[in-house]
Chains A and B, each alone.
Chain A
């Protein structure tokens, strides 16, 4: 190993990156764009569900119920209609996901102490969203109903008469139950996987395509020096991109950061080593920038997205797939990122993840070094 030669390669890479506006744009913009894309694109929260209401009574009581829908952030009362057909048409056309029909005898039945039913029509094309809409609708109606019952009991002089059991829940880690807080740390991990592998997947393939490889390997520079000289500048860029993504998660998406920066740094260093070695390896094998970048994107994105537990819980996967997820490096980084962001888990609890990433880093660096030969065949 000669530091002199390694620095010569690294300096050349830096000059090339800085001189090419496209590669600069990729370095800076790609993580930002991906963060926005995934950050807003993947949102499991229900907000502003377009709602149509057919109020067949228009009494103070029914207005009161409607007001509850209006004030809820889960629903957006797009329109009130005066016939059933219009409401059905709105759901058919996709203008509404929820239709609420209040019966004409709503207030009369309430006064009489009878049971009243409010009809809810839910578009459950997406069953998950449908369930959520139904759940929130029920909770609004239940809340209203409780208020009505308390009034009624008070009037009967029987307050405190009806015992009830309820769950006193304390929600930990993600107190507002916002899916973004749960998703964004995982998105940072996925963006780093994609960006890291993509950047390095171009390095060797570019030399082959431009014809500069032949001259480079005719010099005494060793394959390890070529690899390190090329990866070190991208590694620094990768750390910069990690900082950008983490900053966006905290400042833009408002995800709490409770853990230690040191753990984040160590974990990210190991994970970047993994994905960048993977990208380099692909670049050596593919020899074409187009093929290399595509393989790099697919081979990092798909496993990181589907099998890391970022969105889909690993515990709920079929057993063989659960076993398979153990060889997905992103799995450990996603776990680590979620823990570092939301739980503030001390790194002593994360040694499984750190150790796993360390093993992957070692294996892939070895693989990448071994794959690159200074031969034209």
Chain B
């Protein structure tokens, strides 16, 4: 009976650490953003968002009332000093951590001559980046 714990592969550790810390940093930014949001410094007032969402307004209606049009892009990047902008950025950062994690884990696999799985990791990262960059066709 084997009683020694198997060692985790380097690519797995790299992937896990990047995502873990990316999410933790993102979460910290979300907390700071939420505090700022409830202090009243916002791109769109919190009371407007919460009321609008719980009224059941559609996404288009909510944004129409807030800014006049759907954002269609990374709206928060232009208002990072506001509470809701920073909160959205924190969530996005946490989600985004998957992309560099996949690429770097892929490169670690390449170094170990695991060409197939390295390629799969990089290809997965490319698909994630298609989503991040909004390259998928969207309704106008």
A and B from one assembly? no
B interface vs A, CB < 8 Å?
Answer: none
